[in-house]
Amino acid sequence: MRTSRAQTAIEMVFILSIIFIGLILIIPSYTDNSTNMAIVSAVRSSTSKAITYLNTGVMSDEEPYTLLNSVMEEIHNAEGNPHLAIKTLESEESERDANITITISTPFSSVASIANLNETIKDFIEKDLLQSFRFTNSSGTLKYGGKVVRIKVRVERG
């Protein structure tokens, strides 16, 4: 009788150890993927806000939209409605970094060549991420979930 109880106890320990090892292997990759998806989703949302604001052409005094007002004046003096749209959003993630490159298209070369347009949209995205999506700014570095987030914006004709 005692040997069967001991064998059952050893089998239970073995089964539980397999379950715990599986959890140890699965949970970190799940949380890492979840963090990456949250970063990309938030960046896309902030980019969409900037594009919608610039396409609408109605100025606001609310933060962070005031960052875009000077560029909006230049855009509308050049062409009117710039017809901006997200062309691509590429991300490269590692354990500590998330590098996101956003390509925004416009049919007008005069809009794509506006000075500081890329930097202004990037500044808007970063400020919106800080205000709306629990990103943090540590010594000038954008962070989310322990990852450093780097954003690059390109506005091009196409």
Give the residue extent of every domain in the chain. Answer: 1-157
User: Per-residue pLDDT tens for 12-26?
Assistant: 888 888 887 777 777
Strand-strand pairing, 97-106 and 147-157:
parallel
> What pTM did the predictor assign?
0.81
User: Per-residue pLDDT tens for 43-57?
Assistant: 999 999 999 999 988
Dmax (CA) of the chain: 91
pLDDT at 25: 74
**132 is written with which tokens?**
């709306």
Average pLDDT on 110-114 reads 88
User: Per-residue pLDDT tens for 70-106?
Assistant: 999 888 887 778 999 999 999 999 889 999 999 999 9
Contact 72, 57 (CB under 8 A): yes
* pLDDT band of 32, cuts 50, 70, 90: low
Nearest CA among 35, 155, 23, 48 for reference residue 98: 35
